[in-house]
Amino acid sequence: MNRGVFITFDVECSMGGAWRDPSLKPVPPSRAVWGEFGDRSLGLPLIVEILERHALAATFFVEAFIREQGYPGETERICEYLLNHGQDVQLHIHPNHRHYGLKQRGQPFSKTDQMADLSPAEQLALLHEGADRIQRWTGRRPAAFRAGNMGASEETLKQLEASGIPIDSSYTFPYAGGQCRFGPGEPYNGSKWYGRVLELALSGLRQPRWPGLRPAKPLDLMGISFKECRDAVRLICGAGADAVLILHSFSLFKVRTIQYDGGRLNRIVTRRLDRFCEWLATAREFPTRTFAELAEAVADGSYEPCHRPPCLVKHPRAIVRKAVQAWNNLYWT
């Protein structure tokens, strides 16, 4: 299996301030997932439209506990839509979404959204329940998992192995030792084995030590330019590792409030995604892959893991992008 690019989307609903303010409810899927504002659908339908325009498939890590946020029956519709459009569905879990459901029923709950903060037994139970749900909704057992907030750890991978899920994509070196609970250790892009679980890292890039720039950033088009992302992919794949890009179901629109009022198109991020997909489809330097395809290659022994030290992207657009981000973060721009 040649080295390639994995485009991934985390599909989820924000809590929308519901933990702090009992008068609020979690943001409904109609806004956070479908992006329905007026006569426009700026969430999954727009994302899938861009992918289909360039004949690409992506992996969608779908939150398994939207029902506990107060929206039963919605995740089934999400999975059906994605499968009908030839996309890959895998497992995503934000523990706080299930915990919110427990709270609403007056049952004991843990208030943490970090998978790694839970006991091994609690993690395993969540993984089993989430995987069972994805299997019911898609007809197949998920082969891959991503923790909400990338909040998994090496212990989580042990529980993934126990649950029968062979692939994880929660590690990302820019956040390791922080919200990503893997130890900082030796940072890497690409893939490596942890026991019998393959970790395919969410890719990141190092930045020059210029004023105002963070030391490293993940490959998320909400935070880096198309050209930075393209250059990072070339360096990562050129070094022999796979590259993994992340966006969310709500990445292509802006909102006015934490309840996702007044959604409008995020033209800059939408343009970045379209340009990136166009580059992948036309340049054909590196093939695009899904996690379902990766699982098949792992199962038949045709995949060889490879991880490499993080690349440094010295792109002059980094400073310009910083200014563009500040401007784009304004709701009315």
pLDDT of residue 325: 63
Q: Examine residue 166 and state whether it is found in any structural domain, yes or no.
A: yes
* pLDDT tens per residue, range 24-73: 999 999 999 999 999 999 999 999 999 999 999 999 999 999 999 999 99
The span from the CA of 173 to the CA of 217, in Å, is 9
Four-residue CA torsion sign, 25, 29, 32, 36: negative
Range of the domain at 207: 5-328
Q: 333 pLDDT exceeds 80?
A: no
- pLDDT band at residue 283 using 50, 70 and 90 as cut-offs: confident
CB 16 within 8 A of CB 25: yes
Q: Examine residue 160 and state whether it is found in any structural domain, yes or no.
A: yes
* pLDDT tens per residue, range 136-147: 999 999 999 999
Of all helices (H) and strands (E), which one includes residue 319? Answer: helix 317-328
* pLDDT tens per residue, range 288-301: 999 999 999 999 99
Which residue has better confidence, 10 or 331? 10
Burial state string for 39-66 with b = 16 or more CB within 10 A and e = fewer than 16:
eebbbbebbbebbeebebbbbbbbbbbb
Q: Examine residue 31 and state whether it is found in any structural domain, yes or no.
A: yes
Which residue type sits at 31?
R
The span from the CA of 218 to the CA of 137, in Å, is 30
Q: How many domains would you assign to the chain?
A: 1
* pLDDT tens per residue, range 217-276: 999 999 999 999 999 999 999 999 999 999 999 999 999 999 999 999 999 999 999 999
Four-residue CA torsion sign, 223, 6, 178, 254: positive
CB 23 within 8 A of CB 74: no
- pLDDT band at residue 320 using 50, 70 and 90 as cut-offs: low
Q: Examine residue 333 and state whether it is found in any structural domain, yes or no.
A: no
- Which CATH number is 235's domain given? 3.20.20.370
**Average pLDDT score over residue span 94-99:** 97
Looking at residue 259, what DSSP letter applies?
A: T
Burial state string for 78-112 with b = 16 or more CB within 10 A and e = fewer than 16:
bbebbbebebbbbbbbbbbbbbbbebeeeeebeee
